[in-house]
Amino acid sequence: MASGLPLVLSLADNDSPVSTPWLDAADGFVLPGDDDAVRMAVLRRATRRTDGFAVADMSDGTARTINALSADASRIAEQLARLAATEREMSLPARGVDAALVRRIIKLRRDRDRYFPAEIFADPAWDMLLDLVAARLESKRVPVSSLCIAAAVPTTTALRWVRSLTEAGLFERHIDPGDARRSYIDLSHDTVSAMMQYLRAFNAAFAMR
């Protein structure tokens, strides 16, 4: 891995094992099923650092799938932005909201897998949001590889969501200042604000029981 050069990681299939250092160093991902338009968009973003991600009009189902995923990410972003608009007091105490609370929520989500098939509850976007807000409360940084594990879905599915949620403005990618070969994913300011508002409401609702 050459420092300073863009790195685009291509996964051959959905079950491809991915080395953690490569996963955390990549500037972009070409995933199974990506058509030429998606590949070109990923390459442009990795080499030019441009904003935005678009899929050209394609006749096959790949572009429709990617566009649907992007639309879902955009809807999540819009909903969080509306919440964040009423939650600007970021310096105020979180009133009982801490990393332990978020980790308990995550544990409860994983506990369902003991009783039901895990795939029926797959919600990688929410699982990643929870993991990132918990890490922020713990003052920890989250590499791409760890976030994919937190998503509790196959790596390629998790990477699609990371890509879409980053493009939608919910996630931000930061280069490790101590090692340019590593990158971390964090929540945007508005996403943090919205998540804290949700967690305060969640905590208050259960405190009244």
pLDDT in tens, the chain (209 residues): 445 567 787 777 666 667 787 788 888 888 888 888 887 888 887 776 534 333 333 344 555 555 566 666 666 766 666 665 555 444 444 567 899 999 999 999 999 989 998 888 889 999 999 999 999 999 999 999 999 999 999 999 999 999 999 999 999 999 888 887 788 999 999 999 999 999 999 888 877 55
Give the strands of the sheet with 171-176, arranged side by side: 142-143, 179-187, 171-176
d(CA 154, CA 188): 24
Question: 151 with 126: CB under 8 angstroms?
Answer: no
**Looking at the chain, how many residues does it have?**
209
Query: What local confidence, expressed as pLDDT, does residue 163 receive?
Result: 92
d(CA 56, CA 125): 24
Q: pTM of the predicted model, to two decimals?
A: 0.70
DSSP state of 101: H
Burial degree of 39 (CB within 10 A; 0-12, 13-18, 19+): middle
Strands of 2-158 (E only): list them. Answer: 8-10, 28-30, 142-143
Domain 8-207 CATH assignment equals 1.10.10.10: yes
Helix (H) or strand (E) holding 188: none
Query: What local confidence, expressed as pLDDT, does residue 130 receive?
Result: 97
d(CA 156, CA 68): 16
